[in-house]
Chains A and B, each alone.
Chain A
């Protein structure tokens, strides 16, 4: 079961604004881009052509791992505005 199939089991109320952001200039200098690796929702992707970090915030599971993992402390991390974000039916 790939990650998209896993994520498709979830209910989200997707907000229009991202609750996550990163300074792309700092990401350009980042060696390991660990955010693209540790996120359980595969939110982050590095695009080599445009040299930019894609943040699919609408898939975020609000766990907090990326905030701690980014060694440059470059992720501005907040919970989504109330009523937005993921909603677990089981949990």
Chain B
């Protein structure tokens, strides 16, 4: 065996890469995990919350031991109008563990890699992979800035920009409509202030999605997460919409922060970090080929994100695990051909990952077509309805009702809701 050769090389130590690597190491195989950051997480950002059920499959001790911020016990949607808003919230008081936990990536990714190292993964940070090496139409290794390194299997987990899949032509050029541009601020506030403002305690936390307001008629959404002593607040907008508007991404975020219904949550806090990242939104249709001779693609590099449900890390973790299992079988059979590695796609198809992406393969287009209804008409009428029910004035109620009824009829909201309901119903039954 050549000196610079191992059984599996995994490129990228995000949730997808680390899950692939740890799965392979647990089977006693040799695996090298490469990351360009000084440590795992240094280059990454997300909302965000990680999902318990999936994460437990790879990191069974994470709830007790990982650097989590807060259990998410309340999921909230805020619909903003110009200067008013409505909030819907769902609370779940968990017994053993919450459905999801807020965290920050610099800490989370690093912890995951520490676990992987404990279980035998060789970790190489501060290493940028420049190129995949190909011999006889098989991927045989990598070229870093310093050296060549060979492996039986290469797993690409280099995230949304995946220069490496692009290099070997596995993935087409990404379109503007395939990604959202996201910006976020981490805002520091005393734990007690956060608890008071969000009505949570040490053992509970909130995840919030925000529609309308500054994002009217845009494919854009805001988000807020409670951490222990910070709030993560950010927004994402599809690149094609961002190109069309006057505002820059950080100016849109400022508009969100200044909205009279949002500002009280973050007021007086100090922004301790600004960041930006893309999310792949292309879904099923923009997925690259997921494997070839000697290679598998996992997580964001393979565009495995369920944007409708704000799920990314969980698809990354499980796709990484399934690619890891496929690698183990391939190593046992000493067969690294595309045919053998196609088992990975089969596993993805059997899992929620490809089922969900398929379910939602036309959802984004549908939402974009109905964006005015969702981000303008509904927040406007929703606020209007609450105002009718709660506002007291000298105007006789029947006149108030009548005016609102005319407004509803004029907006076409009832007719416009029918396709939404039909679309949602189709998603329940279509296979």
Residues of A within 8 A of B243 (CB): 32, 34, 37-38, 69
State whether the Cβ of B242 lies closer than 8 Å to any Cβ in chain A. yes
Contact: A40 with B276, CB < 8 Å? yes
Contact: B145 with A82, CB < 8 Å? yes
Choose from B181, B239, B250, B273 the contact partner of A88 (Cβ within 8 Å): B273
Residues of B within 8 A of A88 (CB): 41-45, 105-106, 273, 275
Contact: A10 with B181, CB < 8 Å? no
Within the assembled complex, what's the spacing in Å between the Cα atoms of A42 and B145?
28
Contact: A40 with B250, CB < 8 Å? yes
Contact: B273 with A38, CB < 8 Å? no
Within the assembled complex, what's the spacing in Å between the Cα atoms of A91 and B186?
8
Choose from B45, B105, B183, B278 the contact partner of A64 (Cβ within 8 Å): B278
Within the assembled complex, what's the spacing in Å between the Cα atoms of A32 and B42?
33
Residues of A within 8 A of B36 (CB): 79, 82
Choose from B37, B248, B273 the contact partner of A37 (Cβ within 8 Å): B248
Within the assembled complex, what's the spacing in Å between the Cα atoms of A3 and B254?
10
Chain B, Cβ-Cβ closest to A32? B243
Chain B residues 17 to 59 lying within 8 A of chain A, measured CB to CB, are 36-38, 41-46
Contact: A89 with B163, CB < 8 Å? no
Contact with B along A70-91 (1 / 0, CB 8 A): 0001000011011101111111
Residues of A within 8 A of B37 (CB): 87
Residues of B within 8 A of A69 (CB): 176, 239, 243
Contact: A82 with B127, CB < 8 Å? yes
- Looking at chain B's contact residues, the main secondary structure is mixed
Within the assembled complex, what's the spacing in Å between the Cα atoms of A38 and B173?
18
Residues of A within 8 A of B174 (CB): 68
- Looking at chain A's contact residues, the main secondary structure is loop
State whether the Cβ of A14 lies closer than 8 Å to any Cβ in chain B. no
Residues of B within 8 A of A41 (CB): 276
Contact: B273 with A68, CB < 8 Å? no
* Chain A residues with a Cβ closer than 8 Å to the other chain, count: 36
Residues of A within 8 A of B272 (CB): 9, 89-90
Contact: B274 with A6, CB < 8 Å? yes
State whether the Cβ of A65 lies closer than 8 Å to any Cβ in chain B. yes
Chain A residues 31 to 70 lying within 8 A of chain B, measured CB to CB, are 32, 34, 37-42, 61-65, 67-69
**Would A65 and B278 be within 8 Å (CB), given that A38-B239, A87-B38 are in contact?**
yes
Within the assembled complex, what's the spacing in Å between the Cα atoms of A68 and B272?
29
State whether the Cβ of B104 lies closer than 8 Å to any Cβ in chain A. yes
State whether the Cβ of A26 lies closer than 8 Å to any Cβ in chain B. no
Residues of A within 8 A of B213 (CB): none
State whether the Cβ of A27 lies closer than 8 Å to any Cβ in chain B. no
Residues of A within 8 A of B46 (CB): 91
Contact: A6 with B250, CB < 8 Å? yes
Within the assembled complex, what's the spacing in Å between the Cα atoms of A64 and B276?
10
Residues of A within 8 A of B249 (CB): 38, 40
Contact: B186 with A90, CB < 8 Å? yes
Chain B, Cβ-Cβ closest to A42? B248
**Would A81 and B128 be within 8 Å (CB), given that A40-B249, A69-B176 are in contact?**
yes
Choose from B107, B109, B275 the contact partner of A61 (Cβ within 8 Å): B275
Chain B residues 153 to 199 lying within 8 A of chain A, measured CB to CB, are 160-161, 163, 173-176, 178-179, 181, 183, 185-186
State whether the Cβ of B292 lies closer than 8 Å to any Cβ in chain A. no
Within the assembled complex, what's the spacing in Å between the Cα atoms of A65 and B180?
9
**Would A91 and B126 be within 8 Å (CB), given that A1-B254, A40-B249 are in contact?**
no
**Would A79 and B163 be within 8 Å (CB), given that A38-B249, A87-B42, A91-B44 are in contact?**
yes
Within the assembled complex, what's the spacing in Å between the Cα atoms of A9 and B276?
13
Within the assembled complex, what's the spacing in Å between the Cα atoms of A91 and B108?
10
State whether the Cβ of B372 lies closer than 8 Å to any Cβ in chain A. no
Within the assembled complex, what's the spacing in Å between the Cα atoms of A72 and B295?
31
Residues of B within 8 A of A62 (CB): 43
Contact: B275 with A82, CB < 8 Å? no
Choose from B105, B163, B278 the contact partner of A78 (Cβ within 8 Å): B163
Within the assembled complex, what's the spacing in Å between the Cα atoms of A45 and B30?
47
Chain A, Cβ-Cβ closest to B248? A37
Within the assembled complex, what's the spacing in Å between the Cα atoms of A73 and B226?
39
Known: A79-B36, A90-B105. 13 other contacts (CB 8 A): A9-B273, A40-B276, A64-B160, A65-B239, A82-B127, A83-B126, A87-B43, A88-B42, A90-B106, A90-B275, A91-B105, A91-B273, A91-B275
Listed in ascending order, the chain A residues whose CB lies under 8 Å from chain B are 1, 3, 5-7, 9-10, 32, 34, 37-42, 61-65, 67-69, 73, 78-79, 81-83, 85-91
What are the 4 tightest A-B residue pairs by CB atom distance, in nearest-first order?
Answer: A91-B105, A40-B276, A6-B274, A91-B45
